[in-house]
Amino acid sequence: GIGLDTSRELVKRDLKNLVILDRIDNPAVIAELKAINPKVTVTFYPYDVTVPLAETTKLLKTIFAQLKTVDVLINGAGILDDHQIERTIAVNFTGLVNTTTAILDFWDKRKGGPGGVICNIGSVTGFNAIYQVPVYSASKAAVVSFTQSIAKLANVTGVTAFTVNPGITKITLVHKFNSWLDVETRVAEKLLEHPTQTTLACAQNFVKAIELNKNGAI
């Protein structure tokens, strides 16, 4: 999906390290990324964003110890399934807030940290909801609001933040997903009547946004 294509684009750049955190290890994908640019060290750690804050902090301790420094955090975990209310909120919103909060421990300039850059994956639905998936859309509105606040706190923390807000992207998930209380059983089909983008186009714009790295951008 978007995460993989973004990683592919990222390793083409002059990067030292790419750390991929995901629930499930996919050695073939990691091998592919390593092959694209052998100069980039690609590492994988298993991570479920719904774990408690303390566990995230522990994992980040390992990563920071190994790399000495981390420049950018991309919060990319997300699900689209309005039958799963608690999980949607836990992954799309709470997980992103907790991961951000945990990394501040290492980056916060008030603690002598070097600052850093947070890139959060929002969605156009954070601005204009797809009302058939009100929980998903609201979780993305929360991401946009949260990120805007973090950006405004950059003078205190030294950490800048922006969101990337993809429009309708042809990912596997869009082919079929559940609306809230089944208010519309053909949401995916209806969405695909609108202009869509490929995951590749999305990923390229995504990396462009990271390169621009404008605090508070949406």
Q: Which residues bind its own copies (CB under 8 A)?
A: 53, 85-86, 89, 93-94, 97-98, 101, 104, 108, 126, 129-135, 137-146, 148-150, 152-153, 156-157, 180-181, 183-184
Question: Closest approach of Cβ 184 to its own copies, in Å?
Answer: 8
CB within 8 Å of 22: residues ≥ 6 apart? 3, 44, 46, 47, 77
Among 45, 47, 131, 136, the active-site one is: 136
Question: Closest approach of Cβ 56 to its own copies, in Å?
Answer: 11
Question: Closest approach of Cβ 189 to its own copies, in Å?
Answer: 17
Question: Closest approach of Cβ 176 to its own copies, in Å?
Answer: 19
Q: What token pair was written down for 42?
A: 């690609």
> By the 8 A CB rule, do 143 and 126 touch?
yes
136 catalytic? Reply is: yes
Q: How many angstroms separate the CA atoms of 172 and 157, rounded?
A: 38
Nearer to its own copies, 40 or 166 (CB): 166
Nearer to its own copies, 117 or 141 (CB): 141
Q: What token pair was written down for 197?
A: 């983008």
> By the 8 A CB rule, do 86 and 95 touch?
no
From the list 117, 99, 92, the residue with the least C-alpha distance to 210 is 117
**Share in percent of the chain as helix, strand, coil (round to 5):** 50, 15, 35
Nearer to its own copies, 17 or 145 (CB): 145
Q: Which residues pair with 208 in a beta bridge?
A: none
Nearer to its own copies, 148 or 205 (CB): 148
Active site residues: 136
